[in-house]
Amino acid sequence: MEDAPLLFAGLDVRFMVEIFPRMVQALLVTVQISALALLLGIVLGIPLGGLRVIGPRPLQLLIQGLVSYIRGTPQILHFLVVYFALPGVGILLDEYWTGVVALTVIAVGYEVEIVRAAIESVHKGQREAALAQGMTEPMAFWLILLPQATRRMLPALTNELINVIKASALLSVIAVNELTKVGNAIIYNTFYFVEVLLEVAVLYMLVIGALSWLSKYLENKVFSFGAALSTPETR
Amino acid sequence: MGEILPRLLRALATTIQISVLALLLGTVFGLLLGIARVIGPRLFYPVIDGYIFVVRSTPFALQVYAAFFLLPRAGIDLPLFVVGVLALLFNSVGYQIEIVRPALESVDKEQREAADSLGMTRWLAMWLVILPQAARRMVPPLTNELANLVKASSVLSVIAVYELTRAGHAIIASSYKFAEVLILVAALYFVTIQLLSWGAAYLERRIFTYRSGQPI
Amino acid sequence: MDGGNSSEPVLLRIEHLHKRFGTTAALVDASLTVRRGERVVLIGSSGSGKSTLLRCINHLEVPDQGSIWLDGEFMGGRFAADGRWIQASSGELARQRRHIGMVFQSFNLFAHLSALDNVALGPQWILKRPKALARAQARQLLAKVHLAGHEHKLPAQLSGGQQQRVAIARALAMGPKLMLFDEPTSALDPRLTREVLEVMLELAREQTTMLVVTHELGFARQVADTVGFLEEGRIVEVGTPEQIFDRPQHPSTQAFLNCFSPGGL
């Protein structure tokens, strides 16, 4: 009696409810790992973005090249590079942290550009005024440019979080227990194809839909005064 | 390295084949749905918008797995190459609609009015007046879309479609020369995608600076 | 120029037309008739509703109230047997618009097509004429508007006056019963204005039924059988050019004309 499937539109709803806690747990891993990568990306992106604008010319070119490489090659390749190269140079990480590092590489590629665009959108008179007062370039960057640029970065960073969450699905390849991986594992064990895929897709759409709403809200309501910065959508 | 490169080049050819196929088929659907989204029955709008939302709010890897699991489940047994093209197509159409629609809407409304005043039906005006003017504006973003598809097609390696990433993976597994292989794979992707992005940027300049910056 | 022949049948009858844009009333209870072969010119200051009236006639703007009756047929819909108004489908509306030629202030030539293709497009695709015939007729029409030799130029390669003459030829190519001109020379300098007005004068001589919105009072006096003056969405005075220009009755008309010193073309 208890095992009789509860069907709705041909879907076994009881099964979908049963796996829901595991799904939510996997979603939390997805969000956690993505947020971690985004934050590490910011930590690296701010100095790199700053150097991209005010650093010495060779360094600017180097950072530009790094950004072009990260954005101009498939994301899955960054996973492979991190997965094979880190042990190659003696750094041994578990799957989770391998995933974090790979996602951070992806995030940095976009965040450098977000930081650069935000800083360039601050009126150049601000920098000149700071330099005229006797500040050094790094001081002008930290004290004057960055604080003004930060608010303008928020919508773009929200979009970048969406991109990182989508990219995190690729971690299923290296056996991190994030949402896509857990969904696949359940499918292989139970053969409930449609139910699992539907549930996974809906969970992604809830999180990503909410984030893109937030990003639009930040862009329209809070930042309507300045030029909106955007980051390209990746898949 | 001498024996690896030819194998990777053959796999790159597969990558390009898959991407071009998805782009071209995608343009057919993208145009139809994009036009329907602009002048079709209002009933279609939420359906098309919903489709775009699903495509953009789920990871492409999940879409690939879905195609891989669900097509055989529905009794449709296809070669992996075709499953890969279909998954890429499903994804690309969602983005191409959003290339077509703004291009159509960017044609001055006066052009529509002139067509209306001559007594053209909506669809005839679309075909004779709006689409020919919008088509040129779609070329640069569609070239860019091809670059995106080349990138995205790498995800098909997760269902063992033998494209560039999968081939690289396979060679690493058999030879352990991961550094050489990864450098070559990265270089091949990078060059292909850069060429396409430059092409898109060049076309953009050509089309939009044509005759004193008037976008025609 | 001979006066309007009041024995000709009515071609266009506009009755009690109302149109609002948001809170602004663009047209208030506008009524007007145009007889076959008649040349009617509407004058009035900017924003008085002249253009809106013209755009309502071929339903580029849908009026809120009132009826437009063209050659025995209601524009934009019809009354059912029980008196209900049935809105025309977009296809029916397209069919009705074929009988009304429209010339826009900003020309609105199809930017991707040559002058010849602009003119031939409608006859070929809407009237389903053979391509060769449509193109031959288009050549004749371009010659008629003094543009022989410019057939293969794109709109961007033509001057404003030339573009507007192509636009006139494009409208004529459909063989319309009525030609609407919506400030056809407002975007042109005086020399180009003259080119366009000359073509319109020739059309007037051929007894083309024309409804013209313009600020060219000299042209109005010379060509019109009937002049209408609009103010704040109302047609406040209608009469012959002599009545309107020499003996305006309404204070608004008098005030408006005092701002101009009309000269001949």
* Any domain includes A62: yes
Of A159, A43, A158, A56, nearest in space to A112 by CA: A43
**How distant, in Å, are the alpha carbons of A30, A31, A169, C218 from that of A38?**
12, 10, 15, 71
Inform me whether the pLDDT recorded for A123 exceeds 60. yes
Stretch A81-107: mean pLDDT: 91
Contact flag B216-C122 (C-beta cutoff 8 Å)? no
What ipTM describes this predicted complex? Answer: 0.88
Contact flag C110-B124 (C-beta cutoff 8 Å)? no
* Any domain includes A230: no
Kindly tell me the sign of the dihedral angle through the C-alpha atoms of A234, B5, B8, B13: positive
Interface residue of C59, C108, C121, C174 to substitute, partner B, most B CBs within 10 Å: C108
Residues 6+ apart with CB under 8 A from C120: C131, C134, C135, C137, C138, C173
List all chains that touch chain C, counting a touch as 3 or more CB pairs closer than 8 Å.
B
* Any domain includes A231: no
Contact flag A193-B70 (C-beta cutoff 8 Å)? yes
B73-82: b (≥16 Cβ within 10 Å) or e: eeeeeeeebb
Tokens 């108004």 locate to C85
Q: Which of 65-94 (B) contact C at CB < 8 A?
A: none
Per-residue pLDDT, B53: 96
Touch A-C: 3+ C-beta pairs under 8 A? no
Task: Kindly state the tokens that stand for A21.
Answer: 């806690």
Domain count, chain A: 1
Among C91, C108, C126, beta carbon nearest to B114:
C108
Taking any CB pair shorter than 8 Å as contact, residues of chain C touching chain B are 58, 60, 90-91, 94-102, 104, 106, 108-112, 121-122, 125-126, 156, 167, 170-171, 174
Q: Is B174 helix (H, G, I), strand (E, B) or coil?
A: helix
List all chains that touch chain B, counting a touch as 3 or more CB pairs closer than 8 Å.
A, C
Q: Are strands C226-231 and C39-43 parallel, antiparallel or unpaired?
A: parallel
Among B69, B154, B185, beta carbon nearest to A197:
B69
Per-residue pLDDT, A175: 83
Residue B151 touches partner A, C-beta closer than 8 Å: yes
**How distant, in Å, are the alpha carbons of A46, A50, A119, A130, A149 from that of A133?**
24, 20, 19, 5, 20
Contact flag A233-B56 (C-beta cutoff 8 Å)? yes
Of C94, C33, C76, nearest in space to C228 by CA: C33
Q: Which of 34-63 (B) contact A at CB < 8 A?
A: 53-54, 56-62
If you ran DSSP here, which 8-state letter would residue C156 be given? G
Distance from CA of B48 to the nearest CA of C (A): 23
Beta-bridge partners for C35: C10
Q: Is C26 helix (H, G, I), strand (E, B) or coil?
A: strand
Task: Kindly state the tokens that stand for B175.
Answer: 């030879």
Distance from CA of A208 to the nearest CA of B (A): 6
Is C180 within 8 Å of C101 (Cβ atoms)? Answer: yes
Q: List chain B residues with pLDDT less than 70.
A: 1, 208-216
Contact flag B124-C100 (C-beta cutoff 8 Å)? no
Contact flag A180-B186 (C-beta cutoff 8 Å)? no
CA distance C4 to B10: 81
User: At C165, which amino acid appears?
Assistant: R
Residues C60-119: tens digit of each pLDDT: 999 999 999 999 899 988 888 888 888 888 889 999 999 999 999 999 999 999 999 999
Task: Kindly state the tokens that stand for C198.
Answer: 């000359």
Distance from CA of C91 to the nearest CA of B (A): 6
Among B57, B154, B193, beta carbon nearest to A76:
B154
∠ Cα A162 A166 A171 (to 5°): 135
Measured between CA atoms, the residue of chain B closest to residue A69 is: B190
Supply φ then ψ for residue C182, to 5 degrees. Answer: -100, 95
**How distant, in Å, are the alpha carbons of C64, C84, C86 from that of C81?**
22, 7, 10
Measured between CA atoms, the residue of chain C closest to residue B110 is: C108
CA distance B82 to A68: 31
* Any domain includes A57: yes
Residues A136-181: tens digit of each pLDDT: 888 888 888 888 888 888 889 999 999 999 999 999 888 889 999 9
Residues B127-166: tens digit of each pLDDT: 999 999 999 899 999 999 999 999 999 999 999 999 999 9
* Any domain includes A235: no
A107-138: b (≥16 Cβ within 10 Å) or e: bbbbbbbbbbbbbebbeeeebeebeeeebeee
Chain B residues touching C126 at Cβ < 8 A: 118-120, 124
User: At A234, which amino acid appears?
Assistant: T
Greater confidence, A54 or B64?
A: B64
Per-residue pLDDT, A137: 84
Of B19, B63, B58, B21, nearest in space to B159 by CA: B63
Chain B residues touching A200 at Cβ < 8 A: 62
Greater confidence, A225 or A14?
A: A14
Cα A167 to the center of its chain, rounded Å: 7
Supply φ then ψ for residue C24, to 5 degrees. Answer: -90, 130
Distance from CA of B121 to the nearest CA of C (A): 5
**Domain containing A156: what range?**
7-222
Chain B residues touching A73 at Cβ < 8 A: 151, 186, 189-190, 193
Measured between CA atoms, the residue of chain A closest to residue B170 is: A80
Is C50 within 8 Å of C229 (Cβ atoms)? Answer: no
What is the residue extent of each domain of chain C? Answer: 100-175
Contact flag A76-B168 (C-beta cutoff 8 Å)? no
Q: Report H helices in chain C.
A: 50-57, 90-97, 115-125, 131-144, 160-172, 190-205, 217-223, 241, 251-258
Contact flag A81-B53 (C-beta cutoff 8 Å)? no
Per-residue pLDDT, B123: 92
* Any domain includes A113: yes
Per-residue pLDDT, B88: 97
Among B91, B153, B182, beta carbon nearest to A84:
B182
C247-257: b (≥16 Cβ within 10 Å) or e: ebeeebbeebb
pLDDT confidence of A121, banded at 50, 70, 90? confident
Residue B213 touches partner C, C-beta closer than 8 Å: no
Output the domain CATH number for residue A24. 1.10.3720.10
Residue B119 touches partner C, C-beta closer than 8 Å: yes
Per-residue pLDDT, B141: 93
Per-residue pLDDT, A10: 78
Task: Count CA atoms within 13 Å of residue C15 on its CB side.
Answer: 7
Among B58, B157, B194, beta carbon nearest to A76:
B157
Percent of chain A with pLDDT over 90: 57
Among A72, A167, A235, beta carbon nearest to B194:
A72
Among C95, C99, C106, beta carbon nearest to B110:
C106
* Any domain includes A232: no
Cα A73 to the center of its chain, rounded Å: 16
Touch B-C: 3+ C-beta pairs under 8 A? yes
Measured between CA atoms, the residue of chain A closest to residue B183 is: A81
Contact flag A84-B172 (C-beta cutoff 8 Å)? yes
Is B71 within 8 Å of B79 (Cβ atoms)? Answer: no
Residues 6+ apart with CB under 8 A from B185: A77, B8, B164, B165, B167, B168
Residues C195-251: tens digit of each pLDDT: 999 999 999 999 999 999 999 999 999 999 999 999 999 999 999 999 999 999 999
Q: Which domains does chain B have, with CATH numbers?
A: 5-215 (1.10.3720.10)
Q: What H or E segment, with its residue span, contains residue C40?
A: strand C39-43
User: At A83, which amino acid appears?
Assistant: Y
Interface residue of B15, B52, B58 to substitute, partner A, most A CBs within 10 Å: B58
